[in-house]
Structure 1
Amino acid sequence: MKYLGLAYFTPEKFAALAPEERKKVVSQCPELDEKMRATGKVLVSASLGDLDHWRTLRTRGGKKQVSDGPYIESKEVVGGLFIIEADSHEEALRIASMHPAAMIGEECDWAVELIPMDFYLAQ
């Protein structure tokens, strides 16, 4: 089974950290990401780009609309994603718990959401 992991954070809280605190939190990520990837079960892992360049596409009244910013009004936004292939939900949870957003960043509301999914590769 494949699982989508979404890593969330609160941009305002992250931006409110002093630069040295922000650097301290972020500097821990590469080692934690590598530990998670070393399981051999992570198919994709990515950090998402600057929120200033996010766009939301919707159809309203039969017309396409494009708006700036995250897709849903929320204090938390997705900052990264990963896909795990695991033999069980418990194994997927164990691997997802290694992601930086599951281990650090409490002061920025970092969190991980794990979602079972069907997965198809485009040919």
Structure 2
Amino acid sequence: MEYLLLLYADESGWSRMSPAEQEQGAAAYAAYTQALKTAGVLAGSNRLRDTATATTVHVENGKSQVLDGPYVDSREQLGGYYLIDVPDLDAALAWAARCPGASHGTIEVRPVWSM
């Protein structure tokens, strides 16, 4: 079954890190991604650009409204995702707990509703 691991964190945290800390963080994500690939469970992943680059579309009374920026204000922002294919929720939760983002943010685990 496919699960989406949604990675939430304070996006300003990266810019507050030293270059050495950024390098260490990037290496941790690279190792995690490689572990998912090696286990044969990675179906896709991407990092998202900052929320300042977001555009939000909402339709109200048949009229489209386009807004710059994210739709919701939050302490943590969606920064990326991993799409994994594992046998069950327990396996998805185990992978989520191993994600480096779990130590400095929140990992939301959502089953994918296949169409």
Interval containing the TM-score (normalised by the shorter chain): 0.7 to 0.9
* Secondary structure of the corresponding residue to residue 97 of structure 1: helix
Where does 1:59-78 land on structure 2 (aligned, <5 Å)? 59-78=59-78
- Which letter maps to 1:47? R
Whether the aligned pair in 2 keeps the contact of 1:44 and 1:82 (CA below 8 Å) is yes
Question: CA 1:68–1:19 in structure 2 vs 1: closer, same or farther (change >3 Å)?
Answer: farther
User: Is the alpha carbon distance of 1:97 and 1:37 closer, same or farther for their aligned partners in structure 2, counting shifts above 3 Å?
Assistant: farther
Percent identical residues: 28
1:61 CA displacement: 4.1
Q: Decide whether aligned partners of structure 1 residues 67 and 84 sit closer, same or farther in structure 2, where only a CA change above 3 A counts.
A: same
Alignment of 1:1-123 (within 5 A): 1-102=1-102, 104=103, 106=104, 110-120=105-115
TM-score normalised by length of structure 1: 0.78
Q: Distance in 1 between matches of 2:6 and 2:97?
A: 12
Q: Tell me the TM-score normalised to structure 2 length.
A: 0.82
For the Cα contact (< 8 Å) 1:35–1:98, is it kept in 2? no
Q: Note the residue ranges of structure 1 that are not aligned, 5 or more in a row.
A: none
Aligned length: 115
C-alpha distance in 2 between matches for 1:98 and 1:38 = 14
The separation in 2 between residues aligned to 1:30 and 1:73, in whole angstroms, is 29
Amino acid of the structure 2 residue aligned with 1:58: H
Unaligned runs of 5+ in 2: none
For 2:82 and 2:48, how far apart are their aligned partners in 1?
11
Which 4+ runs in 1 deviate beyond 4 A? none
* RMSD over equivalenced CA pairs, Å: 2.0
